[in-house]
Structure 1
Amino acid sequence: MPRLATKPVRPLRRWARVGLVVWGLGFMLYLANSVRTQGVAPAQLHSDTRVQVLSSADALELRPIASLQARGLIFFSGSGVSAEAYVPLLRPVAEAGHRVFIVRLPWRFAPLESHRDEAIAQARALIASQPEATGWVAAGHSLGGAIAARWLQSPPPGVTALVLVGTTHPKDHDLSALQLPVTKVYATNDEVAPVRRVLGNRRLLPASTQWLEIKGGNHSQFGHYGHQLFDGDATITREEQQLLTRGALLQALAHIPAMPGSTTDKP
C-alpha cells in the first residue's frame, strides 16, 4: 500500500510550542523563587540558650527554654511559603516566653479543601501535645489566615484569640458572632490582599475586632521571602512591618490594650 504523506509541521508552529513550554517553565520557576525563603540568618534557625528550634513534617516549633509561659501561638504559613520564612517574625515571640508552632501546609500550597482540613488537624494535634498550656492564639498569613478563620468557625477548646495577617479572609465563613478577641492586620501596599477587599469583608468579623493598618507595608514583607506576584512595593522596611505585626500577636497573647501609635480603631 502506498504510504500516506504526512503534513509537515510548520516551523512557526513548532517554535511557538517550544516558546510556550519555555515560558511556562520560566513562569513556574519565577513563582517558586518568589516564595523562596530569603534573608533569614542561619543562627535564627538553630537552637540557642533562649529558644529551642524543633522541626517536624507538620510544624516548626520555637520553644522557650528559660521562661516558658502557659500560652502559645499556632501560626499557619502562607501558600507556598516555608515555615522557616516566618522565624524572624515569630522567634521574638518565643523569646518572650510563648511556645510557637508554625504549621507547614500540606503540599506547601494546600490546594484542596482536604489539605486545609489536614492543616487544621495538624494544629489540633499540636495543641493536644501540649496539655500544660492554658491558652492558644490562632493566627495565619494569607492562605494561612483563611485556614485559621476556617478553624475558628467552631472554636476548639483552649483557643482564646484569632489574629489574621495579610488576608482578605474570612470571606467564605461568617465569624461575626465569634465570642473571642479578633485582630486583623493589613498593609496599605498589599496588592495580594488589597485593602478594599480586606475592608469589604469586615461584616464577617465581630464588631469588636481590632484593626491594625500598617502604612507602607505589602504582602511579602509579613514573611522573609521574595516579592510575590502582583504584590505592591513596600515603602517601609520588612523589620518595621514585622515589628508592628509581632506587636499585635503579643497583644493577643497577653490580653493587653492595642500598642500605642498604631491604627487599631475599627474602620
Structure 2
Amino acid sequence: MKKIWIRGLTGFVALLLIILISAIVWASFTYEAVEGAETFAGTEENGGYRFGDPDASIGIIFYPGAKVEPDAYNYLGHDMSQKDYFVHIPTMPFHLAVLYPTKANDIMASYPYVEQWYIGGHSLGGAMAASYTEDYHEKLSGLFLLAAYSASDLTNIDLPVLDISAGRDGLATPEKMAEYEINLPDQTTKIVIEEGNHANFGDYGPQKGDQTSSLTPAEQHDIVITELDQWIDSLNNEAVLNE
C-alpha cells in the first residue's frame, strides 16, 4: 500500500512539473513588435510606456492583446499623444492583461493631474479593460474596444463605449462579436473596418487563425486613430454643450 501511495505521489509531482514546464515555455512566447515600431517608442515608466504630456487633461490607458508586447501598439501611443492626449500602455505579467486587470488603478494614481481617463484594449486586453470598467466605471469617461468583446455586463453602466471591429477578423469574428453585443450599454458607438483583420490592430505581424486583409497595418491604424480621436472629441463637445 505504501509503495502504491509513493508511486501515486511521484506521478502527481511529475505531472505538476510537466504542467509547470509547459506553462513556462508557453509564457516565453510573445508577439514582438515588427521592425520600425521603435520609431514611435514611448518612455518606459511606471510599469509600461508613456506617450505625451502627463499633465494633459485627457489620459488614455491601453491594455495590449494576449501575448503581445506593448511596443506593438506604439503607433497608438504616439499618434494619440500628437493630438494632445496622454497615453500609457502597461506591460502586463507574462503579457496577459487577465493577470492584472486592475493595473489602471496604479496608472491613474501615478498621474494625478489627468482630469479624464479613457480605457481600452485589443483582443483579450479589451476584454480585461471591459472587466475593469464594470467595477471602476466611476473613474472613467469612456471605454473603447479594438477587436474585443465584453464578457462583463455593462448594460446598466452610464458610460459611452466605442466598439471597433474588423470584417476579416479570424479571431474576434463578426459572429462572436455579435454574440456579446448584448453586454454593451446603449451608449455604444459601433465601427466596423470591413477590410480589416485582427493583427492589423497592432504592429506584430500575422497571427495564426487570422484572415488576410487588403489593408496595410498602417492604413488600419489610421482608421483606428481617426475614429478614437473623433469619438473622444465628440464626447467632450457634447459635455460642453450640456454645461
Q: Is the 8 A contact 2:50 2:77 kept in 1?
A: no
Aligned residue for 1:135?
116
Match of 2:150 among 170, 178, 183: 170
Can you list the C-alpha shifts for 1:242-263, whole angstroms capped at 9, x where unaligned?
1111123213432359xxxxxx
Of the three residues 15, 40, 44, the one matched with 1:44 is 40
> Is the 8 Å Cα contact of residues 181 and 209 (structure 1) preserved in structure 2?
yes
Number of residue pairs matched by the alignment: 213
CA gap of 1:41–1:191, structure 2 versus 1, over 3 A, is closer
- Counterpart of 2:209 in structure 1 is 230
Aligned equivalent of 1:241: 220
Aligned to 1:8: none
What is the Cα-based RMSD across aligned positions, in Å? 2.4
Distance 1:250 1:131, change over 3 A: same
Are 1:209 and 2:205 matched, yes or no? no
Query: SS at the partner of 1:148?
Result: helix
1:157-188: CA deviations, max 9, x gaps?
A: 43100001111x212x1111120110100000
Deviation at 1:210, TM superposition (A): 0.4
Q: Give the AA of the match of 1:62.
A: F
Q: Which has the larger radius of gyration?
A: 1
Give structure 1 stretches of 5+ with no counterpart: 1-23, 46-52, 258-267
Equivalence for 1:99: 86
Q: Which consecutive residues of structure 2, in runs of 5 or more, have no partner in the other structure?
A: 1-21, 237-243
Q: Indicate conservation of the 8 Å contact 1:136/1:253, yes or no.
A: no
The more displaced of 233-242 and 210-219 is 233-242
On the 8 A contact 1:72/1:135 being kept in 2, the answer is yes
Q: CA 1:251–1:154 in structure 2 vs 1: closer, same or farther (change >3 Å)? A: farther
Q: Contact 1:188–1:213 (CA<8 Å) still a contact in 2? A: yes
1:109-129 per-position Cα deviation (integer Å, ceiling 9, x unaligned): 35xx5x1xx241x21011011
The equivalent residue for 2:167 is: 188
Partner SS state of residue 207, structure 1: coil
- Following superposition, the deviation at residue 58 of structure 1 comes to 2.0
User: Counterparts of 1:243 and 1:140 in 2: how far apart (Å)?
Assistant: 16
Partner residue in 2 for 1:160 = 141
TM-score by length of 2: 0.80
Deviations 1:223-250 (CA, angstroms, capped at 9, x unpaired) = 0002111011011121121111112321
